[in-house]
Amino acid sequence: MAKSALDGAVEQMNGPRKMRLGLEHIRTFPPFGIVANGEVYQGEDKEYYLAGDNIFFDKQESLVLEDGMELIKESFSLGSYPFIECELEESKELEISTDPVNYKKIADIFDIFKAAREESGMQFKYHFFGRKSDLPHPETIITITSIVAFALGLGAKKIPEKLGDAAGEDLANFYKLVSRLAIDTIKNVIPANRPINFVVSYPNPDCIVELVITTRKPDDVLNALTEEKLQIVQTKIEQLKKLNAEKIQFIFNDNLNWEFNYLLTQKGEVIGTKKSFNKRNLLYNQILQAQEEREVNREL
């Protein structure tokens, strides 16, 4: 990475909003806390390095929603540090992002984007992102506009008439785009034996809504985004916003239905299901155990 990129990361780490302390870049895991106190330094090898402190949440409590759902909240005893990822602004046009490390060559990504444009007739911006891991799970993020969100049943209840007329056409084209994107992405990403995260993100003034579909079946992606399937999401959003949510994540489960996973609050707290925390903690303990075994083997 260029030193300018490291310097930019330090500004984020030391600003009022913080980077999440995650695990293996797994989006569906609640964060452990934050990364702060960033510093760029030059090592003895003359290369530049980025360092920071991993600060874990030190407080955990249980919550029960009105419908009986049991949740866990993790936070800091002192101070509040909202997450920088919750600063996303509402998008005026569609955006598609992916990690180039999961493709054999960049040209494959451009071919996928070209086919999606031609199939749907929709224009969109594209971005690449990077994740520091050996080979993370493939992931494609589709950031939608308010018109598409309205058409899906996720947006405002009322929208100007002239925009409402365009919503139906935009929805049909959006489904074409998602279908083509899912089919071609599944064919091209590496490693070929891992599920792919298709993420639909809707940044808006109320709170960011994030929908995660993990699959290698294109039909699952389209099925997840029907208005019928998304009704439960809209209902749950209204309930969860009362927890001062800045970002709410839902996952499409094995029963092919949407379920709430976790949310991030305006104070930098994380609130999620027991299942989401258990999955995170299980993998974390497995990683720690593997590290301990490697240390023992070295000593032998």
pLDDT tens for residues 242-252?
Answer: 999 999 999 99
Residue 60 pLDDT greater than 80, yes or no: yes
Q: Hey, what long-range contacts does 185-188 have (CB within 8 A, 24 or more apart)? A: 185/98, 185/112, 185/138, 185/140, 186/216, 186/217, 186/218, 188/103, 188/104, 188/108, 188/112
pLDDT score, position 158: 60
Q: With b meaning 16 or more CB within 10 Å and e meaning fewer, what string describes 146-178?
A: bbbbbbbbbbeeebeeeeeeebeebbebbbbbb
pLDDT score, position 156: 61
β-strands 59-64, 245-252 pairing: unpaired
The average pLDDT across 101-126 equals 96
Q: Hey, what long-range contacts does 41-45 have (CB within 8 A, 24 or more apart)? A: none
Residue with token string 């998602």: 178
Residue 155 pLDDT greater than 90, yes or no: no
More confident residue, 66 or 166: 66
Quick one: 16 exposed, middle or buried, by C-beta within 10 A (0-12, 13-18, 19+)? Answer: exposed
The average pLDDT across 96-108 equals 96
Band the pLDDT of 297: cuts 50, 70, 90.
Answer: confident
pLDDT score, position 168: 76
Range with the poorest average pLDDT among 158-172, 176-190, 217-231: 158-172
Band the pLDDT of 1: cuts 50, 70, 90.
Answer: confident
Residue 160 pLDDT greater than 60, yes or no: no
pLDDT score, position 43: 94
More confident residue, 167 or 186: 186
SS3 of 121, please? coil
pLDDT score, position 162: 57
Residue 275 pLDDT greater than 90, yes or no: yes
pLDDT score, position 94: 96
Tokens linked to 204: 């808006």
pLDDT score, position 172: 92
Range with the poorest average pLDDT among 29-33, 88-92, 163-167: 163-167
Residue 167 pLDDT greater than 90, yes or no: no
pLDDT score, position 165: 63
